[in-house]
């Protein structure tokens, strides 16, 4: 049993931002289930949105966010994040993030749904630079303990106390130490869930392997509400390649003039097609519209992919703006300065999550959430490009400040029972776990994807109900492994997505269902109560 002031589950942009603010006053433990840089943050390409240009305004950024979010956003959250963005960028610069500059001013790129250039970036690998700076800052702080390879299993609450009192507080986590194979009991006065998204619920996703929605499932099991889980974002341009299945081609390629085209060999092959879907904004329409257009053309014409073409620009321009993507594609035999890139839509971002307020507080005292695991009201029905990292910095910091401010009101944990392993044995059927995992991801892709129908959602719900029993039985009988923990969370999160999708009787933003093609006049969150 170990005790810390605050435990943070997640070492990405949200978790490390929170840790760095908290470390001024408190001892913090940060957990990562794999390497510290194993989350989505390190994979981010395009950049971070902030109003930094004299011709731009907060009002523009707020409007763009609300338009992309199809009006489901909570305006006070949008204002809060947008207005705190310049300060967040300054903090990152102070930590040494080498944002691209032109003549001493930050270079701003553009992405879909943005009316102005407002994306700061580090070439086309912004996330790596951000992760490195945050990690170095955190590692240098004596109040921060970084613990990779620790897989949080469940939140510790009153039901784990030696003497339960009925309190609703959260007091840390049980976590599997992958170095020792032992489950540790880690207690704290406050816990921040910064565990990222649930992209790997889908067969094709741009997200890293660990994006299995663990934090959302843990918070739900502990009694916190989750919201808008049906709002799964699909990125329009994931590389189509038989070897590399999840490499993103940043939206900034379209921002810098890239065109979507039909491949040769079909009617209108080689021509742009976005004029049939959004004639004004074309390739720079919000992501839900462009992803649906790509999906529509691929299905209508029986294609494997559509083309993303920036080869009309000078090769130096392309290489200068997208050096990492250029190198990666050259390694796969594609020269983007001379030929188009084959692309398909793939799951990319979890807009829904653990419901939080403007201070990152969840429903449960002592439990906070930030970043992709949370639903703050910023993204509504569809996230605006490059607003996600920004949300991590703003809410990581906000949660940390709230904890520091209310520290004296937070009770110390009572005596907690250690993890009981006496009733379980080692599993000899690891293969079943892997198969079930693949099955979930496949039917989520086929039945709960970009275009939905009630019948397909019900089919998915039926599969989930059947598999849930099997997974629970497995979990009850065998010693926990990372795969089993993730599978248990995956089925939980799939259930939350499907239940939310069935509850929304309209099409809005990322949720497009043919039985209800119209958008209702009132925008209402889908809030699930445990």
Query: Which residues contact ligand FAD (rule: CB under 6 A)?
Result: 9-15, 31-34, 38-41, 43-48, 126-127, 150-152, 194-196, 206-207, 210, 214-215, 248, 349, 371-373, 386-389, 392
Q: Does 386 bind ligand SIN (CB under 6 A)?
A: yes
Nearest to 217 by CA among 440, 394, 507: 440
Q: From ligand FAD, ligand SIN, none, which one binds at residue 32 (CB under 5 to 8 Å depending on kind)? A: ligand FAD
Residue 383 or residue 463: which is nearer to ligand SIN going by CB?
A: 383
Q: Which of 12, 38, 46, 377 binds ligand SIN (CB under 6 A)?
A: 46
- The window from 91-99, 249-257, 352-360, 493-501 that contacts ligand SIN (CB under 6 A) reads 249-257
Residue matched to tokens 């613990």: 147
Q: From ligand FAD, ligand SIN, none, which one binds at residue 340 (CB under 5 to 8 Å depending on kind)? A: none
Residue 134 or residue 260: which is nearer to ligand FAD going by CB?
A: 134
Q: From ligand FAD, ligand SIN, none, which one binds at residue 10 (CB under 5 to 8 Å depending on kind)? A: ligand FAD
Contacts of 334 (CB under 8 A, 6+ apart): 341, 342
Nearest to 286 by CA among 79, 479, 65, 61: 65
The DSSP secondary structure of 213-229, one letter per residue, reads: -HHHHHHHHHT--EE-T
Q: Does 246 bind ligand SIN (CB under 6 A)?
A: no
Residue 340 or residue 366: which is nearer to ligand SIN going by CB?
A: 340
d(CA 84, CA 92): 13
Contacting ligand SIN within 420-479 (CB under 6 A): none
- How many residues sit close enough to ligand SIN to count as binding (CB under 6 A)? 8
According to DSSP, the β-strands at 259-261 and 306-309 are antiparallel
| Closest residue to ligand FAD: CB criterion | 12
Residue by residue, what is the 3-state secondary structure of 286-354? CHHHHHHHHHHHHHHHCCCCEEEECCCCCHHHHHHHCHHHHHHHHHCCCCCCCCCEEEEEEEEEECCEE
Catalytic residue among 287, 463, 488, 504: 287
Q: Does 45 bind ligand SIN (CB under 6 A)?
A: yes
In whole angstroms, how close is the CB of 266 to ligand FAD at the nearest point?
A: 29
Helix or strand (DSSP H, E) at 157: strand 150-157
In whole angstroms, how close is the CB of 388 to ligand SIN at the nearest point?
A: 5
- 287 belongs to the catalytic site: yes
Q: Does 350 bind ligand SIN (CB under 6 A)?
A: no
In whole angstroms, how close is the CB of 126 to ligand FAD at the nearest point?
A: 5
Residue 251 or residue 309: which is nearer to ligand SIN going by CB?
A: 251
Q: Does 109 bind ligand SIN (CB under 6 A)?
A: no
Contacts of 466 (CB under 8 A, 6+ apart): none
DSSP bridge partners of 120: 48, 108
The DSSP secondary structure of 460-512, one letter per residue, reads: HHHHHHHHHHHHHHHHHHB---HHHHHHHHHHHHHHHHHHHHHH--S-BTTBE
Q: Which of 388, 436, 500, 526 binds ligand SIN (CB under 6 A)?
A: 388
Using DSSP's 3-state secondary structure scheme, residue 236 falls into strand
Q: From ligand SIN, ligand FAD, none, which one binds at residue 195 (CB under 5 to 8 Å depending on kind)? A: ligand FAD
Q: Does 250 bind ligand SIN (CB under 6 A)?
A: yes
Residue 266, classified by CB atoms within 10 Å of its CB into exposed (0-12), middle (13-18) or buried (19+), is middle
CB atoms inside a 10 Å sphere around CB 288: 26
Q: Which of 211, 369, 385, 501 binds ligand SIN (CB under 6 A)?
A: 385
Question: Rounded to 10 degrees, what is the CA torsion of 509, 392, 248, 446?
Answer: -40
- The window from 71-79, 247-255, 412-420, 511-519 that contacts ligand SIN (CB under 6 A) reads 247-255
Q: From ligand FAD, ligand SIN, none, which one binds at residue 39 (CB under 5 to 8 Å depending on kind)? A: ligand FAD
In whole angstroms, how close is the CB of 45 to ligand FAD at the nearest point?
A: 5
CB atoms inside a 10 Å sphere around CB 265: 9
Give the residue numbers marked as catalytic. 287
Residue ranges binding ligand SIN (CB under 6 A): 45-46, 250-252, 385-386, 388
């Amino acid at each position: 049993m170990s005790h810390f002031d605050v435990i943070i589950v997640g070492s990405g942009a949200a978790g490390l931002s929170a840790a760095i603010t908290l470390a001024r006053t408190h001892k913090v433990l940060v957990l990562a289930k794999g390497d510290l840089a194993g989350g989505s943050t390190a994979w981010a390409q395009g950049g971070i949105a902030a109003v930094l240009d004299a011709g731009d305004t907060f009002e523009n950024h707020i409007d763009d966010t609300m338009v992309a979010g199809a009006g489901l956003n909570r305006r006070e959250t949008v204002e809060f994040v947008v207005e705190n963005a310049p300060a967040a960028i300054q903090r990152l610069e102070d930590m040494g993030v080498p944002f691209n500059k032109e003549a001493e001013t930050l270079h701003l790129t553009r992405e879909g749904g943005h009316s102005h250039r407002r994306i700061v970036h580090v070439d086309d690998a912004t996330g790596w630079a951000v992760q490195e700076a945050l990690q170095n800052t955190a590692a240098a702080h004596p109040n921060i303990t970084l613990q990779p390879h620790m897989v949080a299993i469940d939140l510790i609450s009153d039901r784990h106390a030696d003497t339960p009192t009925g309190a609703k507080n959260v007091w840390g986590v049980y976590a599997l130490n992958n170095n020792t194979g032992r489950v540790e009991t880690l207690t704290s006065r406050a816990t921040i869930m910064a565990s990222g998204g649930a992209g790997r619920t889908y067969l094709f996703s741009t997200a890293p392997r660990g994006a299995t929605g663990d934090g959302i499932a843990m918070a739900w099991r502990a009694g916190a509400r989750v919201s808008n889980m049906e709002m799964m974002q699909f990125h329009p341009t994931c590389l189509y390649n038989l070897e590399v299945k999840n490499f993103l081609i940043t939206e900034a390629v379209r921002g810098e003039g890239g065109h979507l085209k039909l491949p040769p060999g079909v009617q209108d092959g080689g021509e742009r097609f976005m004029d049939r879907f959004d004639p004004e904004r074309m390739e720079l329409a919000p992501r839900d519209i462009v992803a649906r257009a790509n999906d529509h053309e691929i299905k209508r014409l029986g294609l494997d992919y559509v083309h993303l073409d920036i080869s009309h620009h000078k090769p130096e321009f392309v290489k200068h703006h997208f050096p990492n993507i250029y190198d990666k594609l050259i390694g796969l035999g594609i020269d983007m300065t001379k030929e188009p890139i084959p692309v398909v839509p793939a799951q990319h971002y979890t807009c829904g999550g653990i419901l939080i307020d403007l201070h990152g507080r969840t429903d449960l005292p002592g439990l906070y959430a930030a970043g992709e695991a949370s639903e703050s009201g910023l993204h509504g029905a569809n996230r605006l490009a490059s607003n996600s990292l920004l949300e991590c910095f703003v809410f990581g910091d906000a949660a940390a400040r709230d904890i520091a401010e209310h520290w004296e009101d937070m009770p110390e944990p009572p005596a907690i029972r250690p993890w009981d392993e006496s009733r379980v044995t080692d599993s000899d059927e690891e293969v079943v776990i892997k198969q079930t995992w693949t099955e979930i991801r496949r039917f989520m892709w086929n039945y709960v994807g970009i275009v939905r129908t009630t019948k397909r959602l019900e089919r998915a719900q039926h599969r989930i109900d059947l598999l849930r029993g099997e997974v629970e039985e497995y979990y009850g009988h065998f010693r926990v492994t990372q795969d089993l923990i993730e599978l248990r969370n995956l089925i939980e999160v799939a259930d939350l997505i499907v239940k939310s999708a069935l509850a929304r009787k309209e099409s809005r933003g990322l949720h497009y269902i043919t039985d209800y093609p119209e958008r209702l006049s009132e925008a209402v969150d889908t809030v699930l109560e445990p």
